[in-house]
Amino acid sequence: MTYRVCFVCTGNICRSPMAESVFRARLAEAGLGDRVEADSAGTGGWHEGEAADPRTVRILEEHGYDAEHVARRFQPSWFARLDLVIALDLSHLTALRRLAPTEEDARKVRLLRSYDPSAADDLDVPDPYYGGPDGFEECLEMVEAASTGLLAEVRERLEGRAA
């Protein structure tokens, strides 16, 4: 059975596609690409059907990640098929938990940086959209740091399913 993770930010053109791409690379490196599906979405539909922001594409490609992406809006019905819904900041966490049809679904929603032990109290990945290239680089660093811990948890959950 496939384990499914969806990363969610505001418009699905900066942070969440970046997190999806980095996590897919981590899954491939770990040999889990055939057991775990990663995708992304936005809480809003402003950019549906669009590619990722060109700055996101540039930073991903510069670091060797796949940058192919088409934006879409998160749908509450998806909770039924998802194992984890990863919010990129507290506003997404709140919005997603409100959309969750059940308490069990609401418990599937987690903040990405909660998987990074060095994140301390600030668990938001800041939106780089209105800034310059440094913001996209910072965003990528945060996503990469948290992806290691997320991968460890997903691996643990997969092992629990097999037991």
Please report the pLDDT score of residue 84 as a whole number. Answer: 98
pTM: 0.97
Amino acid 146 reads: A
pLDDT, position 163: 65
In a 3-state reduction of DSSP, which class is residue 144? helix
- Name the DSSP letter for residue 50: P
Strand partners, 110: 86
DSSP at 33: T
Q: What digits encode the pLDDT tens for the residues 81-106? A: 999 999 999 999 999 999 999 999 99
Structural domains in the chain, CATH included, are 3-162 (3.40.50.2300)
The backbone torsions φ and ψ at residue 90, rounded to the nearest 5 degrees and listed phi first, read -60, -35
Q: Which residues are known catalytic residues?
A: 9, 15, 127
User: Of 104, 76, 101, nearest to 8 (Cα)?
Assistant: 76
Query: Average pLDDT of the chain?
Result: 96
Structure tokens that stand for 72 in this block:
């879409």
pLDDT at 69 over 80: yes
